Amino acid sequence: MDEIKAGRHFAKLRKRREQVAMTLQHIAHEQRLVEQNTDWLDQAAHESRVNLLDRLSGWYCTEMSNIDRALLRIAASTYGLCIGCHTLIEAQRLESAPEAEFCAACEAMREGLETGS
């Protein structure tokens, strides 16, 4: 991948990383508030809120990890290469998902294996 495109993706990834970090801070704050609040009238509502915040935190932590791996691939000059087949990842795919590790074909195969299709 040429340096100009990698640089554009780098900026996009860094910006998204900052957004995710801010979101994780907000979720952590909300989790502390839920833990400190003992006035829940309904235990099920409390548990539902805790579960929602835990799922959101997990999802954003996964996204942060994916972004960090993409930033490492940029630093190692391997960004844009599929880690499965070592061919170039489609430009359109990287535009929509700059953290993508796999080309469309390898990703489809992975998803098929995960779902048992």
**Amino acid letter, 71:** L
Interval 27-34 mean pLDDT: 94
- Provide the residue ranges of all domains of the chain, joining segments of one domain with +: 3-115
CATH 3.30.360.10 fits 3-115, yes or no: no
The average pLDDT across 23-37 equals: 93
Quick one: pLDDT at residue 4? 65
Predicted model pTM: 0.84
- Whether the pLDDT of residue 91 is over 80: the answer is yes
**pLDDT tens digit sequence for 52-64:** 999 999 999 999 9
Nearest of 110, 112, 109, 103 to residue 85 by alpha carbon: 103
- Residue 71 is predicted with a pLDDT of 96
